[in-house]
């Protein structure tokens, strides 16, 4: 990864029964192992994140019925960046240690997140740095 953040839309291989997504092999290789899985949701106007991790790598899956935005930096003393997303689709964001990151629900409907992490959850390993 040349950037500390990588964004990809996942392919739906579902059928008439519903959707079906598989995490790509390169995402599993990026994580190395899955030591923690965190599920969360976001109501309209809310923000999650505004932190970076010292050691942990994350694969964050975002499913939304609302427009949303992703905010990040590439490390200390780098400018914040952002990208806007429309409702629908399933997006995967790979986050390397040191990259502050946040997601904002810019619409009226719920957003659902699943974060797979390479390390067990440790609150001391997350450091606040606002990007939105």
Residue 89, in any domain of the structure: yes
DSSP state of 10: P
Residue 65, in any domain of the structure: yes
Residue 1 is predicted with a pLDDT of: 57
Residue 29, in any domain of the structure: yes
Residue 20, in any domain of the structure: no
pTM for the structure as a whole = 0.95
- What is the CATH number for 112? 2.60.120.10
Residue 115: Cβ within 10 Å count = 20
Residue 102, in any domain of the structure: yes
Residue 105, in any domain of the structure: yes
Contact (Cβ atoms closer than 8 angstroms) between residue 62 and residue 111: yes
Residue 38 is predicted with a pLDDT of: 97
Pick the closest to residue 132 from 41, 68, 86, 60 (CA basis): 68
Residue 77, in any domain of the structure: yes
Domain that holds residue 32: 5-14+25-128
Residue 68, in any domain of the structure: yes
Distances (CA, A) of 97 to 61, 85, 100: 17, 23, 8
**Per-residue tens of pLDDT for the chain, all 132 residues:** 569 999 999 999 999 999 999 999 999 999 999 999 999 999 999 999 999 999 999 999 999 999 999 999 999 999 999 999 999 999 999 999 999 999 999 999 999 999 999 999 999 999 999 999
Residue 47 is predicted with a pLDDT of: 98
What φ, ψ does residue 103 adopt, rounded to 5°? -125, 140
Total domains, the chain: 1
């Amino acid at each position: 990864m040349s950037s500390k953040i990588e964004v990809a839309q996942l392919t739906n291989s579902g059928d008439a029964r519903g959707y079906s997504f598989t995490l790509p092999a390169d995402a599993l290789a990026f994580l190395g192992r899955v030591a923690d899985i965190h599920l969360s949701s976001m109501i309209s106007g809310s923000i999650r994140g505004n932190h970076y991790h010292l050691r942990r790598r994350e694969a964050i899956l975002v499913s939304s019925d609302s427009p949303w935005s992703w905010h990040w930096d590439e490390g200390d003393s780098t400018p914040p960046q952002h990208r806007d997303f429309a409702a629908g689709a399933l997006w995967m964001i790979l986050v390397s240690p040191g990259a502050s990151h946040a997601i904002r629900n810019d619409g009226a409907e719920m957003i659902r997140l699943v974060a797979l992490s390479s390390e067990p959850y440790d609150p001391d390993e997350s450091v606040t740095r606002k990007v939105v």
